[in-house]
Amino acid sequence: MPGGTHRPAIGPRVQRNLSAHGFLFGALLCFALFSWYPMVREIIMSFQKTHLGVTSWAGFSNYERIFHDPTFWTAWRNTLEFTLLALILGFAVPFFVAILLNELRHAKGYLRCLVYLPVMLPPASALLLFAYFYDPTYGLFNRILHVLHLPTSQWTLTPGTTWPTMAMISVVIAATWMNMGGATLIYLAALQNIPGELYEAAELDGAGVFKKIRHITIPQTRFILSVLLLLQIVATMQMFVEAFILNGGQGAGNNTESVVYLIYQYAFALSGASNFNSAAALGVVLLIVLSVFSGGYLWLTRTQER
């Protein structure tokens, strides 16, 4: 080796770096192949077209194509509807359940396990069970309504697109049942960090339960509340499996078709016209929308750490 004489000086450092990068190599390769490269590739693909195996540049034609697809706007409308409904149910309900559980001094472990149990189920099991409950003829839910002398429902198959649609509400109920455990337990942990003296002070001022929730509980957990709000928006806007299993993904008159379902459909389901490039363009649009919320999350957690 020509540099042999220098080895004692730089050798250890080079060797140390080599072994450090050696330890990094496996993970780096996976990140490069399955995260960083696909990110770049998605943008490139969205500006390309493939015809008979030949790939060429296509300008904005993929974007024009998806913007002119009426299903594109329907899917966004539905996704927004799902996100809003999921926030009303999936954001508020866990918070109040957490407040309630935090007051109880018995059966703590049992109740925490109960709430979290559905999160552990394979989604297909939970959703096939809900599809069974939702069945308009032999389903349990319509039976309960019938016994209570209430009008029965078509649930996930209800037609109509006027907000809020019964079809989407049904999807949200199942999704909330499956997923609320995580948020509830995170809120519970946050509630336990509220200093008890604050409540004592409020009581001296004669504050009732609702005043205490409004002026102490909510402000004291504001950080966790906003973080989970953003995380839930990002998660719910990627809704796919819920509607996919409950009613095939589309619902009556496309009223539960989500953006991710449309990506799936553009890429894999439309036989003959299967088109990865339009799907990539839609992926880029979704990425841009979601990065607003991801960015908000990043900004929030960064200011908290300082």
Partner 1 sequence: MADTYARTLISPAQLHRARGKLTYRIVLTAVIVIFTLIFIGPLYFLFADGLKSTQEAIAVPPTIIPHSLHPSSYTRAWSEFSLGQLLVNTLYYAFGALAFQLVFDVAAAYSLSRLRPVLGNVLFAMMLATLMIPATVLLIPQYVTVASLPIVHMNLIGSPAAIWLPSVANAFNIFLLKRFFDSIPEELTAAAEIDGASPLRILWSIIIPLSRPILAVVSIFSLVAVWKDFLWPLLVEGGYQPTRETLNVGIWVASQTAPQNLVLAASAMAAIPTVVFFLIFQRNILAGLTAGGIRG
**Token pair for residue 225?**
């509340």
Cis bond upstream, residue 38 (ω within 30): no
CA nearest to 186, candidates 98, 263, 256: 98
**Token pair for residue 217?**
């509980």
Q: Which is nearer to partner 1, 88 or 128 (CB)?
A: 128
Residues 6+ apart with CB under 8 A from 254: 71, 74, 75, 78
Q: Which is nearer to partner 1, 21 or 160 (CB)?
A: 21
Tally of CB atoms within 10 A around 243: 28
Q: What is the phi/psi pair of residue 57, to 5°?
A: -70, 145
Answer for the pair 199, 45: CB distance below 8 angstroms, yes or no.
no
Q: Which is nearer to partner 1, 161 or 223 (CB)?
A: 223
- What is the smallest separation between the CB atom of 255 and partner 1, expressed in angstroms? 21
Residues 244, 249, 251: CA angle, nearest 5 degrees: 135
Q: Which is nearer to partner 1, 97 or 167 (CB)?
A: 97
- What is the smallest separation between the CB atom of 243 and partner 1, expressed in angstroms? 12
- What is the smallest separation between the CB atom of 293 and partner 1, expressed in angstroms? 9
Distance CA 120, CA 100 (A): 23
- What is the smallest separation between the CB atom of 70 and partner 1, expressed in angstroms? 21
Q: Which is nearer to partner 1, 161 or 182 (CB)?
A: 182
Q: Which is nearer to partner 1, 77 or 212 (CB)?
A: 212
- What is the smallest separation between the CB atom of 162 and partner 1, expressed in angstroms? 28
Answer for the pair 239, 79: CB distance below 8 angstroms, yes or no.
yes
DSSP 54: E
Residues 6+ apart with CB under 8 A from 151: 145
- What is the smallest separation between the CB atom of 109 and partner 1, expressed in angstroms? 8
Q: Which is nearer to partner 1, 152 or 161 (CB)?
A: 152
Answer for the pair 168, 77: CB distance below 8 angstroms, yes or no.
no
- What is the smallest separation between the CB atom of 64 and partner 1, expressed in angstroms? 18
Distance CA 98, CA 222 (A): 14
Q: Identify the three-state secondary structure at position 113.
A: helix
